[in-house]
Amino acid sequence: MKSIFPALIAAAITLLPNSALPNTQIEPSAFTAKSGEKLWNQTQTISGQVRSCASCHTSDPRQAGKHIRTGKPIKPMAPSANAERFVDPKKVSKWFKRNCKWTLGRECSEQEKADITSYLKSI
């Protein structure tokens, strides 16, 4: 019984409707785009350094950015300025993981990722 219990819970979660699970299937809207813009420019101090998305990507995601440490140019993040963005889901999740950890000191929630994505797609 003990060993079957986690499996039962997993099965129960799988059977739940999507709406019962937080942070999935978030529809892009003006509201999430607005939150995304706020998060984009929000600064936090991590390891003694003031950081935000804009540190490397500038406060206008339609502009090219520059890696804050190495100076390597970064192409614009807004798909309106760079059609390569948000094409490869694997790439998107990789960079969210790396860059959320650097910028916020933790991984982003699904809500935050949806907010940022909607913001970048809205401009």
Partner 1 sequence: MKTLIFSTAAVALVGTLGLGIQGAWSDDDDHSFSTAKWNKMKARSTGVAAVTNALYTEECGSCHFAYPPGLLPASSWQKVMAGLADHFGDNAELDANEQQQLTEYLTNNAADTSSYRRSRKIMNSLQNTNTPSPLRITEIPYFRHEHREIPKRIINLPEVGGNLSQCNSCHQHAEKGSFNEDEISIKGFGRWKD
The span from the CA of 117 to the CA of 28, in Å, is: 8
CB of 61 to partner 1, least distance (A): 17
Structure-block tokens of residue 118: 């909607």
- Closer residue to partner 1, CB minimum distance, 11 or 97: 97
CB of 67 to partner 1, least distance (A): 6
CB of 13 to partner 1, least distance (A): 24
Judged by DSSP in three states, 118 sits in helix
In the block, residue with structure tokens 């090219």: 64
- Closer residue to partner 1, CB minimum distance, 38 or 94: 94
- Closer residue to partner 1, CB minimum distance, 38 or 91: 91
Query: 10 Å Cβ neighbour count for 70?
Result: 8
- Closer residue to partner 1, CB minimum distance, 38 or 72: 72
* Residues at the site binding partner 1, with contacts judged by CB under 8 A: 47, 67, 69-72, 94, 97-99, 101-102
Please say whether the beta carbons of 114 and 33 come within 8 A: no
In the block, residue with structure tokens 């390569």: 84
